[in-house]
Structure 1
């Protein structure tokens, strides 16, 4: 039987095209889930279909800098592993970080879960911090400035010598904090709840000391105790 070469080539091309389309369409139509028993990686980026970064899980050495609207600036101080969260525009808005080791023969440990204000720093944090015998753990709530932080400027300023001029420049770049509430185990081994005004001044504190003595202190805007209630008076 005589074979027409041109027809054979045409038939081959048709079959190949059909097979390729079947593979592509079949792959797209089927499930895209892969199952692994163990994955060893240094970093995982979770992204939306349009590429927007929503979460990063990373080792200490692969943690990202500060990312705002998809643009990254080196972080001045984040020597921990963990998980960073990003909002709908791809801007960091919280995270979970942790670290710990023996340093100079003393145990150190840190674990913190925090959430940020829009393009600002953390406003809510739950943390445990240990440096030898110096330990504290608790929940903190903070106010932050209304304007966003200029992170590239801050990254440059933190490398400069500390002083009044640098502090003023940092404030101008949007850096600021006014603590509002704190509940936890303090460094002096007391458990306490402290409430502050909009300027960050402590105005009320409920405390149980390590020896069990309980007090309620009311303070003025200069931090002076104006009234104190203690269980010793009972």
Structure 2
């Protein structure tokens, strides 16, 4: 009888240690494997990094979205839509894909940022679903001066402290005069007014060439001088 009890105790202990060993082996294999397969993952944010930890890509919901980094400095926390933010080897944000849609506004934007600065190219779609008004196409910008991001941010912070709308408008005009704001250079696509075509501006942002189909389905070609005066129309 005693021998039977000893054998039973031994078998229980053996089974327990075998189970523990198996679980430890599975855990080790799972944690050391580079290739893992999942059916479905619910996640609020994913950071894609290099082996040294450098951030290269953030995929996130709106609440956890990265605020961005320019010239090695993290931008203040701000509200940004869900999407993807790309980072270059300097650690700066260099573009991204964002999207959202609500009753009065829908948009999807793929942006390419200038090195050390803000966006210079976008593939964009925006719409007011209630009014059935939409714009979509390729948008290009230029910055009149190089390396003006820090100066621009300083001015924006100063403008936020101003109390009246008039003061803010004057401050924005001063920024434009000081070449701190970007200028729209070209749009290829459909505008809110239903004009579809190519719209080209000079380096000050003034319209110079328009080649488009108007809302009445008529083709048009227009050229403007430096003062915005129409000089040729076909």
TM-score normalised by structure 2 residue count: 0.75
**C-alpha separation between the residues in 2 aligned to 1:75 and 1:167?**
27
Q: Output the CA distance in 1 between the equivalents of 2:175 and 2:68.
A: 19
Taking the aligned partners of 2:42 and 2:177, their CA distance within structure 1 comes to 42
CA shift at 1:182, angstroms? Answer: 0.6
Contact preservation (8 Å) 2:71, 2:116: no
Is 1:146 the counterpart of 2:151? The answer is no
Which residue number in structure 1 is paired with residue 65 of structure 2?
Answer: 63
Task: Pick closer, same or farther for the CA change 1:111–1:167 going to 2, 3 Å.
Answer: same
* Residues 70/199 of structure 1: CA separation in 2 closer, same or farther (3 Å cut): closer
Unaligned runs of 5+ in 2: 1-24, 163-167
> Greater shift after overlay, 163-172 or 50-59?
163-172
Query: Residues 157 and 98 (structure 1 numbering): CA distance in 2 closer, same or farther, change over 3 Å?
Result: farther
Shift of 1:51: 1.4
TM-score (structure 1 length as normaliser): 0.75
Shift of 1:74: 1.7
Matched-pair contact (CA < 8 Å) for 1:74–1:155: no
Is 1:218 equivalent to 2:217 in the alignment? no
Structure 1 residue aligned with 2:124: 127
Summarize the alignment of residues 66-81 of structure 1 with structure 2, pairs less than 5 Å apart: 66-68=68-70, 70-74=72-76, 78-81=79-82
| Gap runs ≥5 in structure 1 | 1-22, 230-234
105, 111, 114: which one aligns with 1:114: 111
Whole-angstrom distance in 1 between the partners of 2:187 and 2:70: 28
Tell me by how many angstroms 1:193 deviates.
0.7
Pick from 186, 197, 202: which aligns with 2:202? Answer: 197
Alignment of 1:6-25 (within 5 A): none
Partner of 2:15: none
Q: Is the 8 A contact 1:157 1:170 kept in 2?
A: no
Determine if the alignment matches structure 1 residue 159 to structure 2 residue 178. no
CA contact (8 A) 1:154 1:170 kept: no
Give RMSD over aligned pairs: 2.8
CA distance in 2, matches of 1:96, 1:192: 24
Aligned ranges for residues 21-40 of structure 1 at < 5 Å?
Answer: 31-40=33-42
Matched length: 200
In the aligned structure 1, how far is the partner of 2:154 from the partner of 2:108? 28
